[in-house]
């Protein structure tokens, strides 16, 4: 949730820290701060966004070549200057930045209070930095590294931390447990960050730290070991990311840029995986496990938020065409309700970042129970990618807008390819049908492009509904998850209360909300549910509801019933989710823009949910 950046080398550290925090701000923007080692540890922090920190330090001494920075998404303690990171120990020996949650902080804090430690903040992080200082001051502790390792052995929870010690100014100590940290390797210098985005300007060589790792970084040396003081295994990898991926270009917001990138990200996701010459789908990350997948008695898909909606689309596809039972689970619930998992089960974990805490924990639990674990994520080297028996990367590129857009369509693309391939391997569809599906997938990017061309019309429609208090989204079949996703986008960035429902459930409660002030977004296509959806629309119209319909081009039946239309090109129902979601993304974007909301960084939300 929070963003961490660090540097040790010969360069002036402050510009590196600030630029890194700006690139990590999508992970949290309640407050920000830096600490620079220069004849002492100088800490500057400020409530609000990174720009407010920049203004605050404009007249401060920020000279130095070693430092750490942090942008916060608040967990323990409200967002204010005091609770902002970095945190300093009581006697000033240590400064620390932290992403994660220390679950046993209350007990640790009580023990430290009994020993005379005085606390200044409401955070769990201050407990950890004081615990490190407490051990550092004990007899027999001869280094900051040892104090950090001893303190971490007492901690229960998740953490990615970077620590500076006043008496050992020429080194940084980092540690990871359940919260990502990446080490960038330069020439006589090292970088640290929560993800690779602040690092790529300086180096493409990185080490993804593993859980339980502790890194000791000096200007010309790097030591990796475990909390238990054993050598740690690591691998230096290359980051496939460019500075251009992190810029908004000519777009006003990252979210809008990412919506318009979807034709490319969908084609990038299936590029090399669809062989049009052989009329086949090849998912290289699953080659070694297809035999087990084909024999699976059940598939369980776990995810959170938008990833959960993508999983619902997959449930419809896999059950209809591959004829394998599928369960879709919220990762946050799945890990705690003692689910029944057998060795013949396949568990697919979906996460944009590959670091979602609930999803990662659920995946590990399923693995312990003997299930085959597959992953679908966007970040090479992420925790989920490293924990799985096989998987597929989505190739959506960096997604900085907090409200996910291109990640959703990339996930649905991968899941659709998976469903069609599995259906063919199980011989539940013939080669002709398989070829039809491949042809439909290849046509999707151009069709999404045509939907995007209608953005001026979508903007005009958004004007009519920008002052709405509530909204209802309805869909059936493959488009029911799209209704859920459309409602989520609207509530995330415009703060309008929106609910997504299976249209057939409308009479079981939601119809009570319908009046002449309620916009009802109906996601429809020419499929087996069409006549049922028409009936649902008539029920809303009879109660004076305002209908916004997503329809197939040329659908004059719904044209005459709806107040407003978003049109999509004709396509097979199995791929319609990839088209119908796009106008809903734009609709939410324009409404949020007109309401004066912060589209890229909506209140209370952060991009990568690495804590429970």
**190-193 and 182-185: which strand pairing?**
antiparallel
DSSP-based three-state secondary structure for 576: coil
User: What is the average per-residue pLDDT within 200-213?
Assistant: 92
pLDDT: which is higher, 422 or 363: 422
Say what the pLDDT of residue 196 is.
86
Say what the pLDDT of residue 154 is.
95
Per mean pLDDT, which range of 40-49, 178-187, 234-243, 443-452 is the poorest?
Answer: 234-243
User: What is the average per-residue pLDDT within 558-573?
Assistant: 88
On whether both 237 and 266 belong to a single domain, the answer is: no
Domain boundary among 397, 431, 452: 452
Which string of DSSP letters, residue by residue, matches 297-313? SEEEEEE-THHHHHHHH
Is 90 exceeded by the pLDDT of residue 528? no
On whether both 343 and 376 belong to a single domain, the answer is: yes
On whether both 536 and 494 belong to a single domain, the answer is: yes
On whether both 9 and 92 belong to a single domain, the answer is: yes
Which of 160, 158, 226 shows the shortest CA–CA distance to 195?
160
From the list 49, 171, 421, 607, the catalytic residue is 607
From the list 2, 35, 304, 597, the catalytic residue is 2
Per-residue pLDDT of 390-434, as tens digits, reads: 999 898 888 888 899 999 999 999 999 999 999 999 999 999 999
Query: Kind and range of the H or E element at 538?
Result: helix 530-541
On whether both 338 and 206 belong to a single domain, the answer is: no
Domain boundary among 204, 226, 244: 244
Are the C-beta atoms of residues 264 and 237 closer than 8 Å to each other? no
Total domains in the fold of the chain: 3
Mean pLDDT: which of 218-222, 360-364, 481-485 is highest? Answer: 481-485
Is 90 exceeded by the pLDDT of residue 538? no
Q: What are phi and psi of 469, to 5 degrees?
A: -95, -35
Active-site residue 2, yes or no?
yes
Reported pTM: 0.85
On whether both 508 and 572 belong to a single domain, the answer is: yes
On whether both 320 and 397 belong to a single domain, the answer is: yes
Per mean pLDDT, which range of 197-211, 264-278, 500-514, 563-577 is the poorest?
Answer: 500-514
Percent of the chain past pLDDT 90, that is, above it, reads 64
- Domain of 111: which CATH number? 3.60.20.10
On whether both 365 and 459 belong to a single domain, the answer is: no
Say what the pLDDT of residue 608 is.
59
In the block, residue with structure tokens 């401060």: 60
On whether both 344 and 434 belong to a single domain, the answer is: yes
On whether both 69 and 173 belong to a single domain, the answer is: yes
Active-site residue 377, yes or no?
no
- Domain of 402: which CATH number? 3.40.50.10490
Nearest-angstrom CA–CA distance, 125 and 161: 9
Query: How many other CB atoms are found less than 10 A from the CB of residue 387?
Result: 17
Per-residue pLDDT of 278-331, as tens digits, reads: 789 999 999 999 999 999 999 999 988 999 999 999 999 999 999 999 999 998
Is 60 exceeded by the pLDDT of residue 612? no
On whether both 102 and 42 belong to a single domain, the answer is: yes
Domain boundary among 182, 210, 244: 244
Q: What is the largest CA-CA distance in the chain?
A: 82
- Residue-number span of the structural domain to which 327 is assigned: 248-452
Say what the pLDDT of residue 463 is.
96
User: 243 falls in which pLDDT band (50, 70, 90)?
Assistant: low
Say what the pLDDT of residue 491 is.
96
On whether both 234 and 305 belong to a single domain, the answer is: no
Per-residue pLDDT of 82-95, as tens digits, reads: 888 899 999 999 99
User: Whole-number mean pLDDT of the chain?
Assistant: 90
pLDDT: which is higher, 30 or 247: 30
């Amino acid at each position: 949730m929070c963003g961490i950046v660090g540097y040790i080398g010969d360069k002036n550290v402050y510009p590196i820290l600030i630029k890194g925090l700006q690139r990590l701000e999508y992970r949290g923007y309640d407050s920000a701060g830096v600490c620079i080692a220069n004849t002492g540890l100088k800490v500057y922090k400020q409530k609000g966004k990174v720009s407010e920190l920049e203004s605050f330090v404009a007249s401060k001494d920020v000279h130095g070549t070693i430092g750490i920075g942090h942008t916060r998404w608040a967990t323990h303690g409200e967002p204010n200057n005091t609770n902002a990171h970095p945190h300093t120990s009581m006697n000033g020996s240590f400064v620390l930045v932290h992403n994660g949650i220390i679950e046993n902080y209350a007990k640790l804090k009580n023990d430290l209070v009994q020993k005379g430690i005085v606390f200044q903040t409401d955070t769990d992080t201050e407990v950890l930095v004081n615990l490190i200082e407490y051990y550092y001051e004990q007899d027999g502790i001869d280094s900051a590294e040892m104090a950090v390792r001893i303190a971490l052995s007492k901690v229960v929870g998740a953490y990615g931390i970077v620590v500076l010690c006043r008496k050992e100014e020429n080194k940084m100590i980092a540690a990871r447990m359940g919260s990502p940290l990446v080490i960038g390797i330069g020439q006589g210098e090292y970088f640290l960050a929560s993800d690779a985005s602040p690092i790529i300007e300086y180096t493409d060589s990185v080490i993804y730290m593993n859980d339980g790792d502790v890194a000791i970084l000096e200007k010309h040396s790097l030591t990796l070991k475990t909390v238990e003081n054993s050598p740690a295994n690591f691998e230096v990898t290359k980051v496939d990311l460019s500075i251009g991926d992190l810029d908004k270009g000519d777009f006003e917001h990252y979210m809008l840029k990412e919506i318009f990138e979807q034709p490319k990200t969908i084609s990038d996701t299936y590029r090399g995986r669809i062989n049009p010459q052989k009329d086949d789908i090849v998912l290289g990350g699953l080659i070694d496990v297809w035999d087990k997948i084909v024999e699976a008695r059940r598939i369980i898909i776990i995810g959170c938020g938008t990833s959960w909606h993508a999983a619902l689309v997959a449930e419809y596809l896999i059950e209809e065409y591959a004829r394998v039972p599928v369960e879709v689970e919220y990762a946050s619930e799945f890990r705690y309700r003692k689910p029944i998992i057998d060795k013949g089960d396949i568990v697919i974990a979906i996460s944009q970042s590959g670091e979602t805490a609930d999803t990662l924990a659920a995946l590990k639990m399923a693995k312990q129970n003997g299930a085959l674990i597959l992953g679908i994520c966007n970040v090479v080297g992420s925790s989920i990618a490293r924990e799985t028996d096989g998987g597929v990367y989505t190739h959506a590129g960096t997604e900085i807008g907090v409200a996910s857009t291109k990640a959703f369509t990339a996930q649905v693309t991968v899941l659709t390819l998976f469903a069609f391939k599995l259906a063919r391997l199980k011989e539940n569809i013939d080669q002709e049908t398989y070829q039809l599906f491949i042809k439909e997938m290849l046509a999707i990017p151009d069709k999404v492009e045509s939907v995007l061309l209608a953005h001026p019309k979508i903007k005009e429609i958004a004007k009519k509904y920008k002052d709405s208090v509530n909204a209802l989204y309805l869909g059936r079949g493959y488009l029911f998850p799209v209704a859920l996703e459309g409602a989520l986008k609207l509530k995330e960035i415009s703060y309008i209360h929106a609910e997504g429902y299976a249209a057939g459930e409308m009479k079981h409660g939601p119809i009570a909300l319908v009046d002449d002030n309620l916009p009802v977004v109906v996601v429809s296509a020419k499929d087996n549910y069409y006549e049922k959806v028409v009936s649902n629309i008539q029920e809303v119209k009879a109660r004076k509801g305002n209908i916004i319909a997503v329809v197939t081009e040329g659908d004059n039946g719904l044209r005459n019933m709806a107040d407003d239309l978003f049109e999509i090109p004709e396509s097979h129902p199995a791929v319609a989710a990839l088209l119908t979601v796009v106008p809903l993304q734009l609709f939410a974007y324009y409404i949020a823009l007109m309401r004066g909301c912060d589209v890229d960084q909506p209140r209370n939300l952060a991009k990568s949910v690495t804590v429970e």
